[in-house]
Amino acid sequence: MDKRWFPGMEVLTALVALSVTLLLIVVTRRRARHRRPPGPWGWPVLGCLPRLGSLPNQTLAKFAKKYGPLMSVKLGSVDVVVASSPKMAEEFLKTHDGIWASRYAPTPARILAYDGNDIAFSEYGPRWRYARKIFMLELLTVKRISAFQGARKQEILRGINEAINISGDGAEPVRIDLILGKISMNIITRMLMNEGSLSEKAARIKNSDDFQQTIKEAFAVVNNFYLGDFVPWLDGLVSKKHMYAVFKKSDELFQTILDDHKVKLDKSRNQPDDVSTNQNKVQDIVDVLLTRPRDGDGQYLTELEMKGIILDVIFGGTETNSATVEWGLSELLRNPHVMEKAQAEIDSVVGRERLVEESDPHNLPYLNAIVKETFRLHPVATLLTHMSTEDSEIQGYRIPAKSRLLVNVYAIQRDPEVYKRPLHFYPERFLGSEKDVHGLDFDLLPFGSGRRICPGKGLGLVLVQYVMALFIQCCSLRLPGNLKPEELDMEEVFGLSTPRRNNLQAVVAPRLPRDVLIREAET
């Protein structure tokens, strides 16, 4: 066009060019703000779900080697951020902990855990903080844990004696997982329900096979993978009938426990105090839940929340602890020199004239190193689940609210850049090290970290240490038949806990005089 006919053409052209440039800058920045971390390709509709396989923790660890310690994975219609290094774990669980302190409950867990009326599976908020405060400051205090020390010792020794009897003093192999599961269940139920104060009906329920079976079924339901959580349009097509049936059984069980304690407490209120009988009485966990007064601001626990806490105590104190000890004993059987060194330490510090007490591990550094190495190599919670409550910026990536996070503890604790020979069971790596399992070292996170660190961490650590210590001191363990240590299968199963794929079997013989073990078990 002739400039004589349109003298402002140059100005218009410059304005259009400037507008286009500004628009490109805005679009580019907006995309940059909303771009997600890199990650693997996925299938239409299902995303990466078909690629995860039966061991998602291991698959995600392999993905991280290609896409980095911060990656994005599409699972169905759900965008998930995965952290696979200590630095990334610290970023989410410490630097931005307040934003990522919530948790998404899968459908099976939501149904079994009273629609989030518990601690483990509930979203972050005032009710969660209130329930956790009670859990930490009243239910599992150091004083209360110490008060049940005698019960724990008795149940562990009963389990050891049962294993020795089944094995015929070292003639036949024993299912170690069954022994450890029974020990854990008996310890936790005694802390929940004092044996001496139960009614005949409640005691019969507690000691019945039906109780054990109901808890196993409930744990199996929570462990279930539910496709509808990732592909929402399938939610209405998948039956939840079995989930609700198991929930009904477990709810009736917990309601019976609560009702029985209510009757007992009512009777005690109507009777004059007997100082001689009440002076040394230890309240069990259910008593504490039922008798605590309303807070000054009027807050109190609902009955649903009480049952949710009971569920958490049972789940957190049984399967997870027994699975950890089973892994620890498996590693000792694969590494007999480690077992011998641990027994020599106990013999030197404790002697063979008395049994290990819960206070002794403070003076047993090699035992502590074995426990830490077990937690490192075989974390029960291999993937920590979190959810954001608001937008956050991590490493330059803008991650929207309600995003889901997986912290891959399995990958972190087997990272060759963090641990030399990471697949090797080597307790010596922790000797002289100040590294611990309390959530402050982000390369060792068996209990998690931050606000959502496992509230039962103190009890869990005590149980694992003490069960391991007594088995090491009291038992001579060996693999059955001609099975060589290096031939022991160490495959795992993914789930809420991470147990062995094939249950551990071992021949168990007494290492200390049987009369000592029997006497101590009945004391």
Which amino acids are annotated as binding site for heme, given as ranges? Answer: 454
Tokens of 59: 């698959």
Say how many Å lie between the first and final Cα of the chain, rounded.
Answer: 106
> Crossing angle of helices 319-334/457-474, nearest 10°?
40
Identify which of 150, 157, 153 has the alpha carbon closest to the alpha carbon of residue 282: 150
Q: Which residues are annotated as a binding site?
A: 454
Specify whether the CB–CB gap between 477 and 507 falls below 8 A.
yes
Are residues 339 and 474 in contact, defined by beta-carbon separation less than 8 angstroms? no
CA 310 – CA 431 distance, rounded (Å): 37
> Are the beta carbons of 101 and 451 closer than 8 angstroms?
yes
Which is it for the CA torsion 27, 29, 33, 39, positive or negative?
positive
State the Cα–Cα distance between residues 325 and 149, nearest whole angstrom. 18
Closest CA to 282 of 148, 141, 460: 148
Phi, psi for residue 509 in degrees, rounded to 5 = -125, 150
Query: Which residues sit opposite 507 in a β-bridge?
Result: 173, 478
DSSP character string of 255-289: HHHHHHHHHHHHHHHTS---HHHHTT----HHHHH
As separate numbers, helices (DSSP H) first and strands (DSSP E) second, the chain gives 21, 9
Name the 3-class secondary structure at 393. Answer: strand
Range 122-131 contact pairs with CB under 8 angstroms and sequence separation of 24 or more: 122/308, 123/387, 124/389, 124/451, 124/452, 127/305, 130/295, 130/299, 131/301, 131/305, 131/308, 131/309
Q: Parallel, antiparallel, or unpaired for β 173-175 and 70-75? A: unpaired
DSSP letter at 139 equals I
Half-sphere exposure of residue 23: CA atoms within 13 angstroms, side-chain side? 6
Which residue type does 259 have? D
Rounded to an integer, what distance in angstroms lies between the CA atom of residue 287 and that of residue 308?
Answer: 15
Amino acid at the residue 508: V
70: which strand partners? 83
